[in-house]
Structure 1
Amino acid sequence: MATTLQMIDAIVARLKAKLPTLAVEHFPEQPSDYWLNDAVGALLVSYPGSRFDATVDTAAVVQPRRIQFSVTIVARQLNGRDGAIDVLDQVRASLVGFRPPDCLKLAAVSETFLGEEAGLWQYALDLSSASVIVEESAPNDARPLTRVQYEPDEEHS
């Protein structure tokens, strides 16, 4: 089963392949210290969290998981080619229907204008997918059944 980081890495790789003119990175750990080095803009991929449904009644814990991802678009212009709005459309087209490992296809949830600061325009595209988590269980060390022998019941013969 893929980890959350592997899912995020798959989204980063997809965006790098589809939008090679933009910097694509994991969301910075210190957003206030983030510095845009790219001439056009950047895509910052983050994981806002997951929601879990009730467990499925089995011998092991099996739970549906609704996973949320977010891509923050940072662009040096708002309108026009490679502006924030144009890039937002390109990101949505690149990710809606994309399947991260061990997930269903991504679906768009919302888009939000985050604002402008120091000439950098920002939008967030929120997406979701579904997966299933299954508990890790200890291996079964019992001897496997390798032979079955039929012995007739003498009372009913």
Structure 2
Amino acid sequence: MSATQPILNDIAQYLKENLPEWDVELFPNNPGTYSLSHINGAVLISYLASKFEKPRTTEAVLQTRHVQVALTVLTRDLHDDEGALNLLDKLRLLMVGFRPVNCTECWLVDEFFNGTDEETGIWQYQLILQTETQQVQQIQTQDLPKFVTAHLRRADQSVRPD
């Protein structure tokens, strides 16, 4: 199973449980209207991209899917206990080795400063992590005749005509 939404939901649930002092949610549909209302800050989770390996030779197409997820950190402080740097440290420790649903353990890919909004004083960083899952071809089942009856016999009995 390679569905993206369950992966994001699983990461969000895991971070909510482990970072109760922060707002954790999926990246908003309309980022322009998002307003940071939590006193400490927020972690916004978004799907970034996937890369696919060449298919394996099987009866169906089977590919390894490398899924990248961005964790966007928004805080009003940089250096104190509720600051961006402390939150990034916590996120790295939490995410390395975490296994989202139907995936392998997560690992870190990149981290960078996204800037600060001078009007609101909100610091923004992104932590990029990656995991793997399998993309499998969806196959239609064939409507074959169903097995109906079995007649048991011992080796010394003859075969029934039916």
Q: List aligned pairs for 1:1-157, cutoff 5 A.
A: 1-117=1-117, 118-143=120-145
CA contact (8 A) 2:2 2:134 kept: no
| TM-score, structure 1 as length reference | 0.89
CA contact (8 A) 2:27 2:46 kept: yes
Counterpart secondary structure, 2:8: helix
| TM-score, structure 2 as length reference | 0.86
Percent of matched pairs sharing the same residue: 37
Point out where structure 1 has 5 or more consecutive residues left out of the alignment.
Answer: 148-157
Point out where structure 2 has 5 or more consecutive residues left out of the alignment.
Answer: 151-162
Root-mean-square deviation over aligned CA pairs: 2.0
1:34 deviates by 1.1
Name the counterpart of 2:154.
none
2:22 partner letter? L
Distance 2:110 2:146 in 1: 51
Q: Which moved more, 1:5-14 or 1:24-33?
A: 24-33
Name the counterpart of 2:153.
none
Counterpart secondary structure, 2:5: helix
2:121 partner letter? G
CA contact (8 A) 1:2 1:101 kept: no
CA contact (8 A) 1:112 1:125 kept: yes
CA contact (8 A) 2:6 2:101 kept: yes
CA contact (8 A) 2:46 2:69 kept: yes
CA contact (8 A) 1:16 1:24 kept: yes
Distance 1:92 1:29 in 2: 25
Distance 2:143 2:93 in 1: 48
Distance 2:145 2:100 in 1: 37
1:34 partner letter? Y
CA contact (8 A) 2:74 2:124 kept: yes
Runs of 4+ in 1 over 4 A off after TM superposition: 144-147
1:140 deviates by 3.5
CA spacing shift, 1:136–1:7, aligned 2, 3 Å = same
